Structure 1
Amino acid sequence: MTPQTPELPGPDPLLDAEVASQIPFLVARARRRVHSHSTAALAGLDLKLRHFAVLSLICSGAQPTQRELGEFLDLDPSQIVALVDSLEERGAVRRETDPRDRRSKIVVPTESGHDLHEQAAALTRASEETVLQTLSPRERRQLRALLQKVAF
């Protein structure tokens, strides 16, 4: 007689658990799905999602300082320095004196930085499309608006 392995419950019974309807759990689970899919999509460009976020803000035309990047992304200044250093080593960005405050530096994209951003943005849009494929365009707009309200 061979021992039988007990069947594990599938995801459906677990969906009835209280945690499956709690906002912190749902946000964390959704974040993991989006983050892992986007990270995989960006791997071919040797970028992480944080690099892409920094590069996107730099390419936005806002001419952010490192301090502004850190505040917006809610990252420690040392993390921002490391991310900008990494992008600068790749030739994607450069630091320039801020014309608004000569004591500060702004971070600006190079031509190759713009090219890298365009490629990465296309990959993250495709990743978002895949992860959100179960939502209608209206639901996607609604989700984006609600997340912006909570995040900012």
Structure 2
Amino acid sequence: MQKMLIVAALGTLALSSCSVFGTRSAAVSGQLKGFSANQNLGLAVVGFNNGQYTNDSTQVQVIDKFLTGGYTLTLPRDVPYGTYRVIVFRDANNDGRYTAGEPVLSRDNGKVLVYSQRDNALFAGSTVGWNIYDTRTRQVQTTLLNNYDLEAVAAGQ
């Protein structure tokens, strides 16, 4: 009986580190550079496919008029497998969400977040779950998802 309880406890612990789909939870972090405070800024994890940003209501978002410095976002586990980006946007319609057409105030940092169903599915070196793929160096970060820095788009761009 005691052995069964130990096995059950270990099984529960193992499952708690996975999502419904079997991937580990993850967070992405970085620095914010060049953004002015008090602009009704938000951070959003948005789909990025064929050069277009897409969003649905389940994706993690932070709205903060005084968004400056650094950030950490917990990444969702209930989104389709694919490529994503973190963006800084101005919440022009004040609905608390990124809506297509709202101003994206962060420039392309050359990195994409990859939510992968299996190892090497989208990029060589990617693993199951969340990864960062640097399109310039073709390097993949698989465990510590940091240095996803966001810089403001220069005025006039």
Q: Which has the larger radius of gyration?
A: 1
TM-score using structure 2 length: 0.31
**Greater helix share, structure number:** 1
